A and B are shown apart, each in its own frame.
Chain A
Amino acid sequence: MRAASAILYRQSRSTPAIYCQKSLARITIRPMATEASVKPAHAPGSGAHELRASQGSYYRHALPVRVLHWINFAALCILLMSGLQIFNAHPVLNWGRSSYTGSAAFFELANGFPSWLTLPGGRWLAMGRRWHLFFAWVLVGNGLIYVIYSIASRHLAHDLAPTRSDWRSIGRSVVDHLRLRHPRGAAARRYNVLQKLTYLFVIFGLLPFVILMGWALSPRLDSVVPGWVDIVGGRQSARTLHFIAAWALVAFVLVHVFEVLISGVFNNLRSMVTGRYSVESEHADERR
């Protein structure tokens, strides 16, 4: 399955020229092509994929990426809501080695977060911790599988590592994002540079950091190398950073969902469910 999708993916990536020659106006959403119906057409040596490509849709996300994406989404939702439940047990953030250092609190939320945002709904720290510490393992396991898969399948090297021309196009990409313009045609077949950098930052920066700051809250893990939490200013600083990093992840998700919504919500969602993504012609909206 993995090998098949990797071949499929590389093949579809290698045919943009054929695709670009076609001047299609807006491509409407066609009935979803199932993987099974598409795969034989993409068998090596077959020319059928060119026909598929010319019709404007290709296989964008491999099955492991799709499955891991949605597990990650569910785990993050549960971790956020159960995390807010835990936060509500002491809705105060401090900076330093303890909560009582003599300096004032960093942040305080008198009544905590509303119960509709927490898991479980009412005040229930013990159950919030169970949800949180179970799905923390789901997040870690899922993340490890993703990283191993991405390296082994070259998803990381092919799709996420910025190319030289990516680096040169940062300025234009920023302007495009601010103007809510999205790549079309061949350019839409790959992630844009801001997208790549954001995903890399979240995968290799924010998520490991939020996990590390979670570990810092454990008195047992603090004893692995006594005093290591002082790197970030102490245990209560780590709790504050855990909280801030969690909201940074929420901010990422909000921007991510916003981008999904304005760049073709059905197409994007379908590609993350079935793998198929349809590409509009460049000629429908010339970018330069």
Chain B
Amino acid sequence: MRTSGADNSRRHFLGRLLAGTAAALLAGCDAASRSAWLPKVLGVGERASRGAQRLASSRRSLAQEFSAADLSPQFRSNGTANPDDPQYQALAANQFADWRLRIDGLVQQPLELSLLELRAMASRTQITRHDCVEGWSAIGQWTGVPLAALLRMATPRPAARFVVFHCADPMDAAGTRYYESIDFDDAYHPQTILAYALNGALLPIANGAPLRVRIERQLGYKMAKYIMRIELVSSFAKIGAGNGGYWEDQGYEWYAGI
């Protein structure tokens, strides 16, 4: 390789220029991440992803189901492992005998169902993979009532567009409770169930007892645990910070298909 004084100084200049530019760009990206506009611009990608995922697969496409051989030895618990809430603890102490699932909001027939009543309904059992937004996954066997069956009982009003899950677990010192929401495509999906059993046993507290939702074509944070109430709404703008879920309010995507 030829080198001359001029070449060397040009090279050094170029090197410094590149390093300086890279550092400035990185600082810029970091600052932009904290701005109000950038997340909105990048949100275009989220909308494109949502549209593309819906184009690529049908509304009722099924998530892969596995065999017992694929079950994870232990189903990982993430997020809340035991809600720090006296009311919940009192319900748990009594094996959730006094717990009632309320279904209300934009429905013609509000419902209140006990765990025994839910377990008496026709159930679906599925072995599916739970994909966490963090990147890990676990395979478990879930048994529960199809959400579609409960919605048919409650009969949504024409204005209803979303199903909101209100949960028992407080997420911060202020007592903000976990919540999540899905649209009717996912609510009526055959694999969307309200699960009360995991791997053939009653759902453990660490995994969301007495009831958690399974939304098999989305990421784990959509699958609310410790469900107390299901509310049908026309918009979730007035719930929490208005983004449709606890993690959505922290900047995660509402549609968690990827």
Contacts and interface: CB of A to CB of B under 8 A. Distances in A.
A255 interface: no
**Interface of chain A, main secondary structure:** helix
A223 B217 contact: yes
Nearest to A91: B135
A217 interface: yes
A226 B138 contact: no
Interface string B31-50: 00100000101111110110
B134 A98 contact: no
Contacts, number: 153
B64 A134 contact: no
A189 B14 CA distance: 25
Contact of A221 (B41, B57, B75, B252): B57
Given A223-B61, A227-B64, A119 B137 contact: no
A99 B137 contact: yes
A31 interface: no
B141 to A, nearest CB: 13
B26 interface: yes
B56 A125 contact: no
Interface string B52-70: 0100110001111110001
A99 B76 CA distance: 10
Contact of A98 (B29, B44, B70): B70
A40 interface: no
B53 A97 contact: no
Interface string B234-258: 0000000000000100111100011
B144 to A, nearest CB: 18
23 contacts: A86-B135, A97-B66, A98-B72, A100-B72, A100-B76, A100-B136, A100-B139, A101-B70, A101-B72, A126-B252, A130-B46, A130-B251, A131-B33, A134-B41, A134-B46, A137-B48, A217-B135, A219-B217, A219-B219, A221-B56, A221-B257, A223-B57, A229-B64
Given A137-B49, A219-B131, A219-B216, 8 more contacts: A98-B72, A121-B30, A125-B252, A129-B252, A218-B257, A221-B257, A226-B63, A262-B1
